[in-house]
Amino acid sequence: MRHDAGVTGTPQPYAGDFVVLVPVKPPAIGKSRLVGLPDERREALARAFALDTAEAALAATRVVAVLVVTDDACFSAQLTAIGCQAIPDGVSLDLNGTLRQAAAEAARRWPACTPVALCADLPALLTTDLDLALAEVAEGRAAFVADADGVGTTLYAAAYDGFEPHFGISSAAIHLARGARPVNAAVASLRRDVDDVDDLAAAAVLGLGPRTAALVADG
């Protein structure tokens, strides 16, 4: 996390910094496509994915803050305990609406930063990969990272006044058609989101974050 300290010692963002927006469904209802797993294990994995993703983002060189949006108050406390800031989700069941809400709040708190929407299910995410991707984000121009299949999107960045995420079916093609620039860096861990057990196995090959790795090791 990179910032300068002002006269009060409070971290002060400067132009070129990023604030990462992470929408998180309440773990009790998240990761429904992890079929074949008991609800308790699926919920634990959803929590671990989000915590590992957020922690990797917090360590990125030019990330000033990670703002999580969730309606789970207990999980919100876990995320703030590792250094995130959190707000409730005012537009539940509308991911893009949730992200626009988060960007509006980020603009109020960190007006000099660029907002970056990041999926919460990247348990293999390496901070170095996020740094590489953000290095390709040109100031004022929208950019996105396509998922491992080249169809979905795992990261979307744009200036506040042009922040129009379109996560969902064929989101990579939609972002491209709307003028966003694809990030071409070799960032495998940033492209590997996890929706099902096959995705989790692929993420494990890359190397999982500590919480997810511990759960997987426990079987």
Whole-angstrom distance, CA of residue 147 vs CA of residue 170 = 10
Whole-angstrom distance, CA of residue 6 vs CA of residue 132 = 27
pLDDT band at 200 (very low <50, low <70, confident <90, very high): very high
Which pLDDT tens digit goes with each residue over 147-178?
A: 999 999 999 999 999 999 999 999 999 999 99
Whole-angstrom distance, CA of residue 183 vs CA of residue 199 = 21
The confidence score (pLDDT) of residue 10 equals 44
Indicate whether 184 pLDDT > 60.
yes
The confidence score (pLDDT) of residue 34 equals 74
140 or 90, which is more confident: 90
The confidence score (pLDDT) of residue 77 equals 96
**pLDDT-above-70 percentage for the chain:** 89
pLDDT band at 91 (very low <50, low <70, confident <90, very high): confident
Nearest to 75 by CA among 110, 134, 29, 127: 29
Whole-angstrom distance, CA of residue 149 vs CA of residue 171 = 12
Bridge partners, residue 4, by sequence: 12
Bridge partners, residue 86, by sequence: 68
Burial class (CB in 10 A: 0-12, 13-18, 19+), 77: exposed
Which pLDDT tens digit goes with each residue over 39-69?
A: 888 889 999 999 999 999 999 999 999 999 9
pLDDT band at 11 (very low <50, low <70, confident <90, very high): very low
Q: Class of 15-214 per CATH?
A: alpha beta
